[in-house]
Structure 1
């Protein structure tokens, strides 16, 4: 605080009224909470947790301790029910969150955009959406629905794993029991591909995979490696990048409005920087020429299948009816804008 106070004092020598403004800022800061809860799903060393913890560290440092964020992984602030997170944030039960677009899609249908099967062929396509007009449109929608979005991070492309056999064609999925997240769009995708999708929490999924009650699952490879899924019998990995899961830094409006403009700027800029740290972590070892994370998985004896363009296209065509149906639900104008942004990336 000494440094900040001295800066305001210096400003008061040259500009009338600044010292008084500083007094207002100090008074406002006295009304700040001792600690602000940040909801997230997974902790460090997952990229998601890295992004959240980096945000907390940067904010504490740059506000000289005026604003202290405490990260609560495991969606513990909503008793582990990830899909309730957005509602809790909007109502003020949660101060802040680094949330999944998948988990928030039940309340914000437009966020299903990122779960349209095979919309995004590569990381540049994700960036074309989140860092362009589509991302701005989605942030406007979030604001209209009662939260203040600040920045993007990333959980990564979701890849397919199973314990039974290599999956190289849509027919290879026939009859496989696949654990999916709690979104009807994911149910539709895997049902269309002939699999048997099963929605369950991750706490239930781990023993189900171990016992063979469930054959496979879909998650980013950073989740696969950090949880040692090869030890759960997930011996086959298919790199198909069928959907991605961008993350959003957001704040409850009442909390946001309680901050001074100076602190709002600090919190927002810290979120942007932390988001980039999380994105880099989510892509580390997965973007050619550095594919070291994939090589680590193969070193465990796991069979990793890399689809050719023709093989991937077979999945694209098989899931096209789901894509078209959900494009109408999401909003055809938004989907069209996303397609054009990706084509022009």
Structure 2
């Protein structure tokens, strides 16, 4: 009788443990996170850091699974925002450039020669202008949580140094799929050519396209110097902030505690990635120069020549971005 009772209690204990395990498994939740670049780049590392922090903070009950290289949208990064809004993607660390077709206010960051330095970036993103941008994203069905940074975009080419607008005359420059980029390079006398990066690499190698624009981190890690890009100009013509965000459907399904964890870990990952991206800038530039790339730095007069050459782009796009947002951003930059 005693042995039977012990066996019965043991069976009940095992059943209870199994039930607890099943309950814990049922409560654990994994969210998909889209990002355009892998963890070889700071952008991808930002998403991985977010996942790492959230798993630790939640004890594994709420986790993120990162899908790099825009694989959740078959490589079409401009569809990322729409896919998240429709629920096909739970969350993303996305580019303001890629999301600008759905959120016109994000074109603020793509205005040529508008945000001149990192102090201006911080003044815009961390102030009233940043709040207005986040409100614009939220109105489109996405909950923005934090800022990251892909960095200032620089221009490279295979023909020669670029230090004045006339140096771009007639050059075929690969650009991302944004009308604002088309307008910017057309205003500078170049021939903007829209294509995916997959198509751009062989086009640069064969000389079908003369140049491209990307942050130093992308130029360095992707070894763009190996596809004929022998000349690089640091002109900081636009900055590409990243946005950590989650779909409104997912956000609404989370408890207040989970929402707090998701937001706080996104903010921590964003701050970590921004600091890392900026700290690595000089090191990346040195590595690029060591590989034989000729780097051109603009002086103030040269920079202003590009500013003046692209003023028509500002006039065309300011109304699309929004008067209040433009004023808030300009005030933040002036007061930095």
So what's the TM-score if we normalise by structure 1? 0.89
Contact 2:164–2:302 (8 Å) recurs in 1: yes
Q: Deviations over 1:100-145 (max 9, x none)?
A: 0000000000000000111111000000011111111111111111
Distance across 2 between alignment mates of 1:145 and 1:27: 35
Root-mean-square deviation over aligned CA pairs: 1.5
- 1:336 matched to 2:327: yes
Q: Deviations over 1:275-309 (max 9, x none)?
A: 011112221233xxxx2221211111110000000
Distance across 1 between alignment mates of 2:328 and 2:217: 30
- Cα deviation, residue 333, structure 1: 2.0
Contact 2:27–2:61 (8 Å) recurs in 1: no
- 1:45 matched to 2:40: yes
Contact 1:28–1:259 (8 Å) recurs in 2: no
- Cα deviation, residue 32, structure 1: 5.2
Structure 2 match to 1:308 = 299
**Aligned to 2:241, what secondary structure does the other structure show?**
strand
Contact 1:162–1:235 (8 Å) recurs in 2: yes
- 1:112 matched to 2:84: no
- 1:228 matched to 2:223: yes
- Cα deviation, residue 29, structure 1: 8.7
Q: 2:165 aligns with which of 156, 166, 170?
A: 170
Distance across 1 between alignment mates of 2:224 and 2:94: 23
Structure 1 match to 2:313 = 322
Structure 2 match to 1:128 = 123
**Aligned to 1:68, what secondary structure does the other structure show?**
strand
- 1:268 matched to 2:263: yes
- Cα deviation, residue 27, structure 1: 8.1
So what's the TM-score if we normalise by structure 2? 0.91
The alignment of Structure 1 onto Structure 2 pairs a total of residues equal to 315
Distance across 1 between alignment mates of 2:129 and 2:218: 27
Structure 2, gaps ≥5 residues long: 1-21
Structure 1, gaps ≥5 residues long: 1-25
Over 2 Å off, 4+ runs: 26-33
- Cα deviation, residue 71, structure 1: 0.7
**Aligned to 1:160, what secondary structure does the other structure show?**
strand
CA radius of gyration, larger in: 2
Structure 1 match to 2:208 = 213
Task: Tell me which moved more, 137-146 or 221-230.
Answer: 137-146
Distance across 2 between alignment mates of 1:278 and 1:210: 31
